[in-house]
Amino acid sequence: MKKYISILFTVMFVTVLMAFAPRTTNDPWPVPDKYKNMPNPVKSDATSIATGKELYTQHCKSCHGTKGKGDGPKAAQLDTESGDFTKADFQKQTDGAIFYKTTEGRKDMPSFKKKIADQNDVWSVINYVRTLK
């Protein structure tokens, strides 16, 4: 009986520890050179940023949060961390790299090729997230 209680206690302890373990961190996300060097063809102006904000609110806010900090209401349900657009590591990426990641997706991050079919709209979202510093 003591052995059974000891095993049960150990299983419960490990379960509790795992519940509070941090989610997996994001692995490096390689971007093909073709995209790294791709310039943003959409001028970052008030119209583009407004379009980007509208699309961000519709498609991105639930995971990345209102201010782009990765704290949206769905973020806690993800297996990987939701990106924080306010961090220097994100902001130092090229627009082309962000375009690639947005259109292709990976793991919990869905592809937006079909959801935001107009590539200029994707570029506008990028212009908007550049304002989230």
On whether residue 11 sits in a domain, the answer given is no
Residue 7 maps to a domain: no
Q: Which residues of 24-42 are buried (b: 16+ CB within 10 A; e: fewer)?
A: eeeeeeebeeebeebebeb
| pLDDT at position 36 | 95
Per-residue confidence (pLDDT) for residue 22, from 0 to 100: 46
Among candidate residues 24, 35, 51, the one with its CA nearest the CA of residue 103: 35
Residue 6 lies in a domain: no
What's the mean pLDDT in 48-61?
A: 98
For position 69, which CATH number holds?
1.10.760.10
Instruction: Provide mean pLDDT across the span 45-73.
Output: 97
Residue 78: Cβ-neighbour burial (10 angstroms; 0-12, 13-18, 19+): middle
**pLDDT (tens digit per residue) in 67-123:** 999 999 999 999 999 999 999 999 999 999 999 999 999 999 999 999 999 999 999
Among residues of the chain, what percentage have pLDDT more than 90?
A: 78
Mean predicted lDDT score pLDDT of the chain = 88
**Residue 1 resides in a domain:** no
Q: Indicate whether 78 belongs to any domain.
A: yes
Q: Do the domain assignments include residue 108?
A: yes
Q: Which domain holds residue 117?
A: 30-129
- 23 lies in some domain: no
**Computed from CA positions of residues 88, 25, 104, 60, in that sequence, does the dihedral angle turn out positive or negative?**
negative
pLDDT greater at residue 64 or residue 14: 64
Please give the C-alpha separations between residue 5 and each of 8, 16, 17, 19, in angstroms, as whole numbers: 5, 16, 18, 21
Choice between 1 and 18, residue whose per-residue pLDDT is larger? 1
Q: What is the number of domains present in the chain?
A: 1
Q: Is 3 contained in some domain? A: no
Predicted local distance difference test score (pLDDT) of residue 27? 82
